Structure formats: structure tokens, C-alpha cells
């Protein structure tokens, strides 16, 4: 039997497990919770719309959930009346994740008080397609009366795909290590740079005013490579009498120090600021140093 035009599924929308919802609250959904959600769903009396993201008040419905059922601890749905433009976007892989919003058991807008109830199914990963004339759906209940839950239902990678992904991760890490070695990325930011680069997909591009495009990850690394060094790993000869009282004036990190003063290398930035203040205000280095130290305390 062929499905009716505009009908699709079943699709996996949620599974049993413990997790943190999008509001930061830990939730646990058990097998019996999913069974009750499926059993209580009424597509005629309270149909749940298919939407983009997780709107709070109103948004266009790109389809409607027709039926819910549980299979192997996974909540599945069939959908109907799906807008063709949205169906094409899903088939093209623009939406990588499916998420759901549930009315909480104590929500005043919940059609089945005492149980979780499906509020809507949200597709995540891209902007909504432009569909003229699509009427918005009004959602009952406020943000505090529902929870938004998201799980990744992506198929497990094949061994070949896993090996390729590992090679890509290693290549990215080598590029970050090169930037650290060149002093353009501080070692403390290594993990953050790696994480950000990993989230730049191979298909993501950056567009320029001349109409050209460049892979976002390549642009990101090129941008970092063009930055001035933020740290130098070279050695500096500060002289044997740097800490000797009454020593001769000596430059430390490019800072000229008056006779009778020495600088701890760790305080060269402070000394530079004191020198600037001394020259700008026409005061002694000692007074300028006291002034700068008072500002940083």
C-alpha cells in the first residue's frame, strides 16, 4: 500500500534515556513514558505540528504528526500533509536532527494531565524554506509548561568512515599544533580551537564580495596564520646583574629602566606601563610605578 501524497515515515523522534533538556534540566524518559505518549496521541483532536526548531508561541507548520508508536525503546512517528518544499529540504539532508517538545505532566495546556504529551516535532539544522501563504500555528502553553528534547539519531559510521574521520581530526590537530609552534595560538586555547574547527563542516563555505568562496575551515586556519604572534618562545639575555641593586640601566623586554632600578622579567609589562605614565605625566619612574600598581590592584 502506497502512502498518501505528502505522507512520510516512520521516522525516529526520540528514545528511552536520561539527558539534559534545552533549558538545562536533567530529564529521564522511560519506556513506559514513551508508551503513554504514543497511546495518548490523538491526531484528530490535538494534532502535533512539524516545525523548524523549537518555537514558543507560533510558527508555520510544515506537516502534521499522523501516528505515534514505540519500537525497540524508540518513539517513531508518521507524518502527513507535508509541504513539498520542506520534504525536498529534508530529502536533501539539510536537517540533520529531529527533536521534540513535550508538555510536562503538570502543564495547564496538556491535553493529557499527569503524562507527558507531544507538543511538536522540530527539525534542526537549517533555516525554514520559503513557502508563501503558510499559516502559523498557535502553540498553547508557555516555555515553563513544556520541555524541548533533542537526541542524535545519526546512523553509526562504517569502519572506513571512522578511519577517514580520524585522519581528518589528526590533520586538523597538526594544523593547530603548527599555529601554536608559530606563536599564533596560545597553548591554553588549543582545545577550544580544535573544537571550533571540528564543528566547521567540510561543506561549509565562506562567501566573499567578489563572488568567490572558500571552505570555512581553510579560511579559519588561513586567518589564524596571518595573525601576529601572540607569544614568543625565544630566549632573551637580560644580563647577569639584572637583579643587582644599583646596577646600570638595562632594557628588559624593550623597556628602558632608570639607574638604580631592576625589573623582574615577569613584571616587564608593568614596567612598560610605568614608563609610559612617567613620560606622559612628567613624573618620576618610581611615582609612575606606584600609580600603575595602584590601578591594577
**pLDDT value for 297:** 46
**pLDDT value for 57:** 54
232 vs 41: CA distance, rounded Å = 64
**pLDDT value for 250:** 46
**pLDDT value for 104:** 84
User: In a 3-state reduction of DSSP, which class is residue 235?
Assistant: coil
Angle separating helix axes 216-225 and 190-198, nearest 10 degrees: 150
Q: Which helix (DSSP H) or strand (DSSP E) does residue 195 occupy?
A: helix 190-198
185 close to 193: Cβ distance less than 8 angstroms: yes
Angle separating helix axes 159-181 and 190-198, nearest 10 degrees: 140
70 close to 58: Cβ distance less than 8 angstroms: no
52 vs 164: CA distance, rounded Å = 31
C-alpha cell belonging to residue 190 = 588549543
**pLDDT value for 143:** 43
116 vs 105: CA distance, rounded Å = 5
122 vs 295: CA distance, rounded Å = 52
**pLDDT value for 247:** 46
Residue ranges of the chain whose pLDDT lies below 50: 1-2, 130-145, 153-156, 236-238, 241-253, 296-297
6 close to 80: Cβ distance less than 8 angstroms: yes
**pLDDT value for 261:** 54
**pLDDT value for 148:** 56
**pLDDT value for 232:** 52
User: Scanning the structure block, which residue is given the C-alpha cell 581553510?
Assistant: 218
Amino acid at each position: 500500500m502506497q502512502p498518501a501524497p505528502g505522507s512520510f515515515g516512520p521516522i525516529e523522534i526520540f528514545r528511552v534515556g536520561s539527558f539534559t533538556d534545552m533549558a538545562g534540566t536533567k530529564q529521564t524518559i522511560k519506556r513506559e513514558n514513551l508508551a503513554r505518549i504514543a497511546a495518548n496521541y490523538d491526531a484528530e483532536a490535538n494534532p502535533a505540528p512539524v516545525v523548524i526548531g523549537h518555537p514558543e508561541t507560533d510558527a508555520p507548520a510544515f506537516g502534521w504528526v499522523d501516528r505515534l508508536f514505540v519500537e525497540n525503546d524508540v518513539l517513531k512517528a508518521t507524518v502527513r500533509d507535508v509541504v513539498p518544499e520542506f520534504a525536498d529540504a529534508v530529502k536533501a539532508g539539510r536537517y540533520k536532527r529531529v527533536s521534540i517538545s513535550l508538555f510536562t505532566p503538570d502543564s495547564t495546556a496538556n491535553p493529557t494531565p499527569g503524562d507527558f504529551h507531544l507538543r511538536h516535532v522540530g527539525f534542526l539544522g537549517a533555516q525554514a524554506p520559503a513557502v508563501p501563504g503558510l499559516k502559523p500555528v498557535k502553540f498553547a502553553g508557555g516555555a515553563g509548561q513544556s520541555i524541548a528534547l533533542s537526541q542524535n539519531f545519526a546512523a553509526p559510521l562504517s569502519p572506513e568512515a571512522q578511519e577517514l574521520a580520524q585522519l581528518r581530526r589528526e590533520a586538523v590537530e597538526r594544523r593547530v599544533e603548527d599555529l601554536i609552534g608559530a606563536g599564533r595560538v596560545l597553548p591554553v586555547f588549543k582545545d577550544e580551537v580544535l573544537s571550533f574547527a571540528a564543528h566547521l563542516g567540510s561543506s561549509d563555505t565562506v562567501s566573499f564580495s567578489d563572488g568567490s568562496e572558500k571552505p570555512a575551515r581553510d579560511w579559519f586556519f588561513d586567518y589564524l596564520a596571518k595573525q601576529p604572534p601572540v607569544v614568543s618562545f625565544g630566549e632573551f639575555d637580560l644580563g647577569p646583574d639584572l637583579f643587582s641593586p644599583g646596577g646600570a640601566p638595562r632594557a628588559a623586554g624593550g623597556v628602558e629602566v632608570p639607574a638604580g632600578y631592576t625589573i623582574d622579567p615577569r613584571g616587564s609589562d608593568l614596567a612598560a606601563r610605568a614608563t609610559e605614565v612617567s613620560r606622559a605625566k612628567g613624573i618620576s619612574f618610581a611615582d609612575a610605578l606606584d600609580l600603575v600598581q595602584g590601578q591594577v590592584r
